[in-house]
Structure 1
């Protein structure tokens, strides 16, 4: 039984491992998107411009001037203005210090706050008019705000706020997310208004034309917002509404745990509250669920960021789109992008609302349309405003365009999104997304008719950042990234990076095309003809028989049996490397080994010297990227023996013996060379070269083998135990995991069978032990051995049986 328990535990562990491997293989076989090119931080091929000052940190609040020539930055204890008007120029124009007073710092420390918490992190920076900015900072856990003159960055007191306190305009906690937007000089904010960050509010401040500031109703018996996390605020100029995007606890669902859902809330810009009911409170406040859910999967309930895409030139404002970035509450490393149309949002807010039942604390559809969520309810009756107080949750959810996410990433956690529209060479508009991951990579993605393509990934920081932000400048064609360390400027495209027509077309970048006249990859223009294919990257169609620049041929001279390493690296992550040589038709397959990075390794012999070509294959297009000539250097060892003329039979025997000894000597020398391979190059694993177990995912292409009757020219080549069979006549295809899945499934079935058999055996053993105990409790066993008679056991079940068999025992005796 002990052995069975050990076997069961081992098999259980094996099943767990196999299930994990099976899930990994299924994830690999699902075709996860891979960025075509990766640029690590500091890469010379994708230079970045950084702005960093020793005493400036947490530069995450970014604002562009109207002409996009100046970048205003809200940082810790300071506000900066940076000159970004010229490419390659990233300098500071003016700096304004804004530090808490020693008294404010002392009071903050007394509240058990850290030194970083007690700094002044500028969290709101908005244009208030043509000459001034509005700024609000955490200010030692006591929010303050101010006006700032744009040109000189000097502070001016905010009207009707002489003490500078700004509760409800930015959060106390400098690291708590909030949002703000200014429209015609009025400030709309979504934040918290208390020290502990629990009271969430959506407010209007700095109201004009004698209108009062407006806030959420404080007298309602139910929460209008339940632990929200605000991520953005956008406006619809057509009907003068402001939309707030956030996630919160969804109380309308009966869920055992706190289920968080994404929301969009609306208020009317001109709302001033009711006359008797909802005084100085929103009469137009309403909220609805944003549903970003893939088919047959759980919804992505946590919205992380929102970006607005204006309609195309000449299109109606009703075509405006909102791109939302979502993550999953149950799978933190999964992300999705959903697109919502303004028409759908308006339709939901113009529909039916749910009504809150105070007795059951449940949300139920009201079934009536009380014209809720609309502007101009100031003069409405008290009954209508009372209904607006209790029925502010729309019955329908806002579903995305197409009914599903446009992007789903099972292995990425993104935190920020920016979006723009650009026109390709063929006149078609493409949407390009910039997604910032928490690991510090900025991904540039183009949406295609049949999916998406990750053009490139650029690393903008290494260490995880507590706060980060991105801001897109369409006029300058750059993305600004603000982190706790620096501000970085990233160009949206780098067309000259692609030096050939093939690479320019394979990039599938809607910004770039191959200018046939000048022979360069440049920004597309409608006035010129460019070679470009964003959808398919067809090189032969767009480039034709263009003159390809062949790489220089490198010559390698080596002694006999020396290890040869021909280096070759992939130009892109999507490319496949194959090697071509005239030798493939005459040599055995196991003489060559291709490493994971693409290099070719073999041993120099009379048969392996010759020409070798490294070819990159991407989307069916082949291009030579490295050429080599391998030759044997002149040495006594490399001189081939002269043929000896046949004279007599004995001479033939002597010659055969001599040749055999010479061949054995060469084989021994070859073996010694292979044993020293680790001393020659530490990058080559001797065990992988001599005893290959797991094949390297490289193409296995057919080759022509020589006739078995023809003697090989290589000295005992069949004794060379090299690793991977590599052939080179077709491009590499995507690796199939069919065989691995079958093997894993078979092993899983075997383990399940072992579990069942072990269980049956254990059950039978327990049953046998129980029967034995029962027999011992009911009677006794007696054994007698008689000379010449086989020992017999007599079972007595009770007293009467004992008496009955007594005579039989006497007879035996």
Structure 2
């Protein structure tokens, strides 16, 4: 049976049995009323900070709330700041449940100052790494006055406790609190991308255990990189080839392959195999599987490539890993543009470039620089950079220590792939003029029509959060909410399926708002035109409601 609804669109009782939902957002009428050019994609609703209904957390004298760990099993948001870690109530972050200080000593501060660093800003302990371990403790690292250190932390009986089991943080955590970095914990093994030294001149992608392993200090591997993010892909899952899981790293760097006088920065994605142990003679304790490729986000007629700033891995739990997507935000590398963009990439497309693509190879030329061209010679077997799979095992190669030197020397000299990775549709899903994008997370939502939509939450340098959806190649910004006042960049974004809340961190504090804000629409027409996949109009109660809140 169908229930009549607004403007001839109906919502079946089978979908939401108890309620007659007025037509949800996605209407031909809404499309015709709100057609704009892509660059004039104006938020349908702008919400000032005093109407954001945000929960805010800030502690006097403490700054840089930029490291977050959701502990949904404990109903906690762990928040790392400068010289402190907080355990906040996941449902209401204004409620501080516990905290622990991790301050540098006067001696450490003096030593840091003597090395030319600012004692009031740089010579402190900025919490940079917060990960859950398999025994339900937390692994935490801080910059520690340019002498990074790591420790274990536990939460019990309402107390947050550092275990004082200090570990060297070099290669795990940055020295410089203002330098970009990335890290991920995979089965108690920390993968990190940061600098190994005080000067910041030795960038590495490293795994700290069970066998310590890192990238080579060669410009062809990492050339003045800015690290962005890391993600794991379970590529061994149901693999017919007996493949290994991968860890992906997104970053930007100066392009070694560019024939240009000025430095050209390009965006990259690299990947390594989780079980890589390094080589026996060549590449000892170095990755044998480090491969990287250029990743493009073509924005209009831009002469210079846009630079990657953040990524989010979106996987549907009901689908295979190959169907996962990476959403990424890009900003211009010149001051002549005020555009930011979001591009989406299929993991299968990225994986294919690494598994089947051609390599680039350096060729010396007369003018004393090195030119990089596509390699057209014979490729050794096993394939350089590949994980150990069933085919390798049949040849008696059961681990990377068994790989022949020819394969290892090839990948040592040629870690760069020839083919650039293009986004879905070879264009961005969103291009917007205005406040520069800083962070992105994406949530898959099933709307009232039964379709699944990807809702993007994008943080900006002005402390606002955009909520946007792409409908059949048309971008729609549902709202822009001012989270931080005065405006300041959003440094981190997380969300919880358990609470339905979004959490943002900045230098001055942390904010929490609901993923869905249906109550802002006060009429059926407003609810429809908001085109928010989270929302529908409840005719019985006469209000715009969250679809998941429909009463049974």
- TM-score when scaled to structure 1? 0.58
For the residue of structure 1 that corresponds to 2:360, the secondary structure is strand
Tell me what 2:60 maps to.
54
Q: Tell whether 2:155 aligns with 1:155.
A: no
**CA spacing shift, 1:173–1:378, aligned 2, 3 Å:** same
Distance (Å, rounded) in 1 between the aligned partners of 2:93 and 2:104: 32
Which range moves more in the overlay, 508-517 or 62-71? 62-71
Q: Tell whether 2:116 aligns with 1:112.
A: yes
Give 1:82-93 correspondences, 5 Å limit.
82-84=88-90, 86=91, 88=92, 90-93=94-97
**CA spacing shift, 1:270–1:71, aligned 2, 3 Å:** same
Maintained 8 Å contact 1:440/1:459: yes
Maintained 8 Å contact 1:131/1:150: no
Maintained 8 Å contact 2:490/2:504: no
Tell me what 1:352 maps to.
358
**CA spacing shift, 1:339–1:57, aligned 2, 3 Å:** same
Give 1:512-527 correspondences, 5 Å limit.
512-525=535-548
Maintained 8 Å contact 2:48/2:481: yes
Equivalent in 493, 501, 507 of residue 524 of structure 2: 501
For the residue of structure 2 that corresponds to 1:92, the secondary structure is strand
Q: Tell whether 2:172 aligns with 1:146.
A: no
Equivalent in 356, 372, 376 of residue 363 of structure 1: 372
Residues 61-108 of structure 1, C-alpha deviation per residue, up to 9 Å, x if partnerless?
Answer: 011014372100111111111111x4x563111111100111101111
Residues 198-220 of structure 1, C-alpha deviation per residue, up to 9 Å, x if partnerless?
Answer: 21000001x23xxx2101124x5
- Larger relative contact order (Cα-Cα within 8 Å, sequence gap ≥ 6): 2
Residues 222-255 of structure 1, C-alpha deviation per residue, up to 9 Å, x if partnerless?
Answer: 5410111111000101231100000001110112
Equivalent in 248, 251, 255 of residue 246 of structure 1: 251
Tell me what 1:452 maps to.
475
**CA spacing shift, 1:424–1:235, aligned 2, 3 Å:** same
Structure 2 unaligned spans of 5+: 1-35, 237-244, 389-399
Maintained 8 Å contact 1:300/1:327: no
Residues 293-343 of structure 1, C-alpha deviation per residue, up to 9 Å, x if partnerless?
Answer: 1354445431110001112x5222210000010011124521111111110
Distance (Å, rounded) in 1 between the aligned partners of 2:371 and 2:459: 39
Equivalent in 407, 429, 438 of residue 430 of structure 2: 407
**CA spacing shift, 1:117–1:439, aligned 2, 3 Å:** same
Tell me what 1:324 maps to.
328
Distance (Å, rounded) in 2 between the aligned partners of 1:261 and 1:184: 31
Tell me what 1:203 maps to.
206
Equivalent in 13, 34, 38 of residue 42 of structure 2: 34
Distance (Å, rounded) in 2 between the aligned partners of 1:425 and 1:465: 36
Give 1:522-541 correspondences, 5 Å limit.
522-525=545-548
Of Structure 1 and Structure 2, which has the larger fraction of its residues in helix?
A: 1
Give 1:692-771 correspondences, 5 Å limit.
none
Distance (Å, rounded) in 1 between the aligned partners of 2:308 and 2:338: 14
**CA spacing shift, 1:415–1:31, aligned 2, 3 Å:** closer
Distance (Å, rounded) in 2 between the aligned partners of 1:129 and 1:65: 13
Tell me what 1:77 maps to.
83
Distance (Å, rounded) in 2 between the aligned partners of 1:50 and 1:288: 40
Equivalent in 269, 273, 282 of residue 277 of structure 1: 282
**CA spacing shift, 1:343–1:369, aligned 2, 3 Å:** farther
* Deviation >4 Å, runs of 4+: 28-31, 525-529
Distance (Å, rounded) in 2 between the aligned partners of 1:298 and 1:524: 44
**CA spacing shift, 1:153–1:314, aligned 2, 3 Å:** same
For the residue of structure 1 that corresponds to 2:49, the secondary structure is coil
Tell me what 2:460 maps to.
437
Residues 342-392 of structure 1, C-alpha deviation per residue, up to 9 Å, x if partnerless?
Answer: 101111101211112356511121124331221134312112111110011
Maintained 8 Å contact 2:297/2:343: yes
For the residue of structure 1 that corresponds to 2:43, the secondary structure is coil
Distance (Å, rounded) in 2 between the aligned partners of 1:382 and 1:40: 61
Give 1:4-23 correspondences, 5 Å limit.
none
Distance (Å, rounded) in 2 between the aligned partners of 1:57 and 1:241: 35
Maintained 8 Å contact 2:306/2:331: yes
Maintained 8 Å contact 1:136/1:143: yes
Q: Tell whether 2:477 aligns with 1:472.
A: no
Q: Tell whether 2:100 aligns with 1:96.
A: yes
Give 1:200-239 correspondences, 5 Å limit.
200-205=203-208, 207-208=209-210, 212-218=211-217, 222-239=219-236
Maintained 8 Å contact 2:459/2:490: no
Maintained 8 Å contact 2:38/2:430: no
Task: Give the greater-gyration-radius structure (CA).
Answer: 1
**CA spacing shift, 1:526–1:81, aligned 2, 3 Å:** closer
Q: Tell whether 2:414 aligns with 1:391.
A: yes
Maintained 8 Å contact 2:297/2:330: yes
Residues 423-457 of structure 1, C-alpha deviation per residue, up to 9 Å, x if partnerless?
Answer: 11010111110111111111111111141111111
Maintained 8 Å contact 2:461/2:490: no
Equivalent in 73, 78, 84 of residue 67 of structure 1: 73
Give 1:518-667 correspondences, 5 Å limit.
518-525=541-548
Which range moves more in the overlay, 228-237 or 68-77? 68-77
Tell me what 1:337 maps to.
342
Maintained 8 Å contact 2:49/2:481: yes
Distance (Å, rounded) in 2 between the aligned partners of 1:187 and 1:29: 45
Residues 560-611 of structure 1, C-alpha deviation per residue, up to 9 Å, x if partnerless?
Answer: xxxxxxxxxxxxxxxxxxxxxxxxxxxxxxxxxxxxxxxxxxxxxxxxxxxx
